[in-house]
Amino acid sequence: MENAHHRWRWLIVIALSAAAIGLALFADASVAFWINANTSERLRRFMRLVSRTGDWQGLFAAGLILIAIAWLRRSKRWLRVFLAMLIACALAGIVARVGKIAIGRPRPSTTIEQTWNGPSLHSKFNAFPSGHTASSTAFFVTLLIAAGWRIGTPFLFIPLLIAGSRMVVAAHYLSDVIGGFVVGIIAALFVAERMRVRSPRSALRV
């Protein structure tokens, strides 16, 4: 019975995720137009900096530093949590990378008319889903799941800022970053469940 409920919960998560991406697709053009019309050059420069520092390399460096601190403090609990964050980040990044190569969606900055180009290794056709968003979401949602709402919630601002930066620099559409959120959340839930780092204070359960 528990296994059946578990499968149904995962099916609901997937169905809601697909619906969110589908709805975002309809808003892509209008959101991109609004961002382009209402973004100053100063904000673009700031968001380019956020975009560069929010890639997986920065997250991995932060994760390794946290692991080193936990090891020096001999905290097995936090060592496991930080390791789970790194694994979730890597898993989300891999899934996003495979997905964007297979789908081949042009980025907003391109002038290609096709919506979906098919499999492509060219970076201009690697828009969906957003890898920056997926990796950062997986990293910090794992922290939320493991440490609870009080500790984890403030850090969710980071993947939201990174997702916003990717749209401002015309690297992704709204649906791309929503897709990144979906990949990151599912990766975090999967890793937290497998590594048994879930906090009793966390309401994120699948």
Which residues touch 90 (CB under 8 Å, ≥6 apart)? 56, 60, 135
pLDDT tens for each residue of 110-124? 766 556 666 766 778
pLDDT tens for each residue of 48-74? 999 988 888 889 999 999 999 999 999
- Cβ–Cβ under 8 Å, residues 152 and 142: no
Cα 8 to Cα 2, 4, 22, 138, 200, distances in angstroms: 10, 6, 21, 22, 22
- The closest of 58, 55, 139 to 97, measured between CA atoms, is 55
Cα 68 to Cα 71, 136, 155, 180, distances in angstroms: 5, 20, 20, 28
- The closest of 164, 159, 202 to 31, measured between CA atoms, is 164
Is the pTM value of this prediction over 0.75? yes
Amino acid in the structure at residue 152:
G
Return the domain boundaries, the chain. Answer: 2-195
pLDDT tens for each residue of 17-28? 889 888 998 999
